[in-house]
Structure 1
Amino acid sequence: MSHSQAIPLYPLSGYTFGSKDAQPEEDPSVAARLQRLQSEFETQGMRQTVEAVLVVHEHKHPHVLMLQIANTFFKLPGDALKPGEDPIEGLKQRLTQKLSPANVDGDDWQIGELLTVWWRPNFETFMYPYVPAHITQPKEMKRVYLVHLPEKKLLSVPKNMKLLAVPLFELYDNAARYGPQLSALPHLLSRCNFDYK
């Protein structure tokens, strides 16, 4: 990504937030998610996941839009791909499913730069920004893309989730609250040249 290419960032006030029917999580716990990962790995191989980093600004400071589930768990919008599914098209579908108003078939999501790839070496919660040398078959690969938002957009959030604008200074060096992947976002976004509109 060229640092000179400016990426427009628009104020949070330009976005409208609606709600839609709840979308329950497929797994009731982290242990259940890892168990499903293990059973799917035996039939489908490595899971491929895509997530989106949606950035807005407030008072000319970048904020990342994140979903909050059950007041404690934070995640980027996205999900696992079906076997053979294209990552970009898959991410567009997942964003439409999670954040577009109900009954919108396709949406105009503009998927930008690949910010990072995380690897899950085993059926455990730990993911790394590299494949450890002793791992020959990672269990999951997660691609995280920057998504370019238009100046104004209606975002509809499932009723069982909240969409929060979290400032980069809150994420920075805060793995205790957000985990290593989300707390790495300020580093990843430091490559970007944001143009505050």
Structure 2
Amino acid sequence: MAGNYKAEYVYVEAFATEIEISNSRLACKAELSKESLRMILNRFWNISYQAHGLRTCVEAVILVELFKHPHLLLLQIKNSIFKLPGGRLRPGESDIEGLKRKLSRKLTVNEDKTDWEVGECLGMWWRPDFETLLYPYMPPDGKSPKECTKLYLVRLPVSRKFIVPKNLKLLAVPLCQIHENYKTYGPIISGIPQLLSKFSFNIINS
């Protein structure tokens, strides 16, 4: 990882209307039981699967250097949920183009003008059924998986300004804090330091 990377966090009022709509929907759904929500979500996934087949999600592993240590950029929702930048592909969309679209939408305001350097695929996770659990291997029972999540390494230029929606926080978290911290970050994010162990980090003194 050559060069010094500087992360800047900005919150944008332009997303306020969308956020208010999302929050109102969440407030309505909060009255439902967890079992009811699970059934509704499973039904939605089933309809989507029947229409489009395997759902593919792409997520970005973006590193920055802070205090002479590599940090991973994460989005935080409501001070508790951590996720990698990225999201679901559109039908027929390629992994690279879809990831670039998602990064531009979630981290910038110029969706069509930002160029992202997407590198190699670091890993793939599979959802064997319409449930919440993901596994780093194909289902052994021979069933067709319902979702695949792919992690791609994305390299930043020397300087980059990020702009995120108002309901999200952009955090730079040290790899030493993420490593095997399953309880806080979940299986995918907590396993990223192991995926990155094959790389050598070149920290340049400023």
Q: Per the shorter chain, which TM-score range?
A: 0.7 to 0.9
Asked whether the equivalents of residues 9 and 194 of structure 1 are also in contact (C-alpha less than 8 Å), the reply is no
Question: Once the two structures are aligned, what percentage of the paired residues are identical?
Answer: 43
CA distances 1:101-128 after superposition (whole Å, capped 9, x unpaired): x244231110011110111011111111
Deviation at 1:9, TM superposition (A): 5.1
| Number of positions where the alignment pairs a residue of Structure 1 with one of Structure 2 | 188
Determine the structure 2 residue equivalent to 1:94. 102
SS in 2 for 1:195: coil
- Cα pair 1:121 1:135 within 8 Å, conserved: no
CA distance in 2, matches of 1:174, 1:8: 27
**Which has the higher Rg, Structure 1 or Structure 2?**
2
Residues 1:9 and 1:139: Cα distance change in structure 2 (over 3 Å): farther
Correspondence for 1:17: 9
For residues 173 and 42 of structure 2, the distance between their equivalents in structure 1, rounded to whole angstroms, comes to 27
Aligned-residue offset at 1:19: 2.1
Query: What one-letter code is carried by the residue in structure 2 that aligns with 1:180?
Result: P
Question: Aligned pair 1:8/2:15, yes or no?
Answer: no
What's the TM-score, normalizing by structure 1? 0.87
**Partner residue of 1:128 out of 117, 128, 135:** 135
Q: What stretches of structure 1 of length at least 5 have no aligned partner?
A: 1-6
Change (3 A) 1:16 1:37: same
1:55 corresponds in structure 2 to 63
Distance (Å, rounded) in 1 between the aligned partners of 2:168 and 2:87: 15
More helix per residue: 2
User: Does 2:158 align with 1:166?
Assistant: no
| 1:3 paired residue number | none
TM-score by length of structure 2 reads 0.84
> Partner letter of residue 16 of structure 1?
E
Unaligned runs of 5+ residues in structure 2 are 30-36
Asked if the contact 1:93–1:106 (Cα under 8 Å) also holds between the matched residues in 2, the reply is no
